[in-house]
Chains A and B, each alone.
Chain A
Amino acid sequence: MPNPHERFTALYNTYQARVYGYAASRAGHQLAEEVVSETFLVAWRRLDSLPDHAPLPWLLRVARNILRDNFRQAARRESLEAELRTWMEEAATDVGEHVTERVAVLRALAGLSEADKEILTLTTWHGLSTTEAAEVLGCTKAAFFVRLHRARRRLQSAIEATGTTPSRKPVTVPGRKLR
Chain B
Amino acid sequence: MSRKPDATDLLAMARPASLDRGSRISADDMLLMATTEAPQEPSRRRSRPRRTLPAAPASRAWSRLWVLWAPLSTAAVMALVFALVTSLAPAPAVLKPSRTNQELFDLADRIEKLPAESGAYWREVRIDGNYLSSGGYRLVVVGRREIWQPRDPADLVLTQWWRQDSARPATTEDERAWRAAGAPARVKGLCETSGPCGSIPVAAEPKDCRYTLRMDPTGIYPDKTVSDFSMADLAAIPTDPAALIKQLRAYHEIWNGRGFTQPFEKFLPTTVSLLGMPLSPAQRAAIIRVLASLPTTKVVGTVTDPLGRRGISVDFGGAGGSLVYSSKPGKELPVYNRQILDPGTGETLSRVSYAARTARGATKGEVMSYHARDLGSGWTRPPASPPKGCKKGE
> Could you list which residues of chain A lie within 8 angstroms of chain B, going by C-beta atoms?
5, 8-9, 12-13, 16-17, 19-21, 24-25, 29-34, 36-37, 40-42, 44-46, 69-72, 74-75, 78-79, 87, 90-91, 98, 101-106, 108-109, 120-121, 123-125, 152, 155-156, 159, 165-174, 178
Is B24 part of the contact surface with A, judged by Cβ < 8 Å? Answer: yes
Q: Which of B49-57, B208-216, B250-258, B281-289 contacts A (4 or more CB under 8 A)?
A: B49-57
Knowing A37-B363, A105-B11, the reply to whether A29 touches B25 (Cβ < 8 A) is: no
Closest 7 CB pairs of A and B: A17-B22, A44-B34, A21-B19, A102-B14, A171-B12, A156-B7, A155-B7
B350-367 interface (Cβ within 8 A of A): 358, 363-365
Smallest beta-carbon distance B158→chain A, Å = 42
Q: Do A120 and B8 form a contact, CB below 8 Å, given A37-B33, A75-B52? A: yes
Given A16-B22, A87-B16, A44 contacting B37 (CB threshold 8 A):
yes
The interface bits of chain B over 25-40 (1 if a CB of A lies within 8 angstroms of the residue's CB, else 0) are 1011011011101000
Chain B: minimal CB distance from A142 (Å): 19
| A124 in complex: contacting residue of B5, B8, B52, CB < 8 Å | B8
**Residue in A19, A74, A120 whose beta carbon sits within 8 Å of that of B52 in the complex:** A74
For B17, the closest partner residue in chain A by CB is A90
A41 B33 Cβ-Cβ under 8 A: yes
Partner of B23 from the list A17, A69, A123 (CB cut-off 8 Å) is: A17
Query: Chain A contacts of B47 at CB under 8 A?
Result: 69
Chain A contacts for B13, CB-based, 8 A: 98, 101-102, 105, 169, 171
Of chain B, the residue at the smallest CB distance from A178 is B12
Report how far A5 CA is from B302 CA in the complex, Å.
9
Distance of A79 Cα from B42 Cα, bound (Å): 28
Q: Kindly state the separation between the CA atoms of A152 and B5 in the bound complex, as whole angstroms.
A: 12
Known contacts A72-B50, A90-B16; is A36 also within 8 Å of B23 by CB? yes
Cα(A20)–Cα(B22), bound, Å: 5
Q: How distant is B35 from chain A, measured CB to nearest CB, in Å?
A: 8
13 residue pairs of the A-B complex, CB under 8 angstroms, read A5-B301, A24-B19, A29-B21, A34-B364, A36-B25, A40-B34, A42-B42, A71-B50, A87-B18, A90-B18, A120-B11, A125-B12, A170-B9
Contacts of A125 in B (CB 8 A): 11-12, 15, 19
Name the distance in Å between A179's Cβ and chain B's nearest Cβ. 10
CA distance A31 to B5 in the complex (A): 33
Q: Separation in Å of the A166 CB from the closest CB of chain B?
A: 6
Min CB distance A140 to B, Å, is: 20
In this complex, the interface size class of chain B, counting residues with CB under 8 Å from chain A, is 35 or more
In the assembled complex, which residues on chain A have CB atoms less than 8 Å from the CB atom of B14?
87, 91, 101-103, 105-106, 109
- Contact A109/B53 with A13-B27, A20-B21, A40-B34 known, Cβ cut-off 8 Å: no
Highest count of chain A CB atoms <10 Å: which of B14, B25, B50? B14
CA distance A49 to B58 in the complex (A): 32
Min distance, Cβ A101 to any Cβ of chain B, angstroms: 6
Q: How far is the CB of B41 from chain A (nearest CB, A)?
A: 8
B10 on the A face (CB < 8 A): yes
Are B7 and A75 in contact, with the CB atoms below 8 A? no
- Asked whether B394 is an interface residue with its Cβ less than 8 Å from the other chain, the reply is no
- Which of B301-324 touch A at CB < 8 Å? 301-302
Nearest neighbor of B24 in chain A, beta-carbon distance:
A33
Q: Which residue from chain A places its CB closest to the CB of B21 in the assembled complex?
A: A20
Give the nearest-CB partner of A107 in chain B.
Answer: B14
Closest Cβ neighbor of A123 among chain B residues: B8
Q: How far is the CB of B23 from chain A (nearest CB, A)?
A: 4
Q: Is the CB of A124 within 8 A of B11?
A: yes
Across the interface, which residues of B come within 8 angstroms of A41, CB to CB? 33-34, 37
Residues of A within 8 A of B4 (CB): 156, 165
Q: Are A34 and B363 in contact (CB under 8 A)?
A: yes
Decide yes or no whether B328 CB sits under 8 A from chain A.
no
| 8 A Cβ contacts from B234-254 to A | none
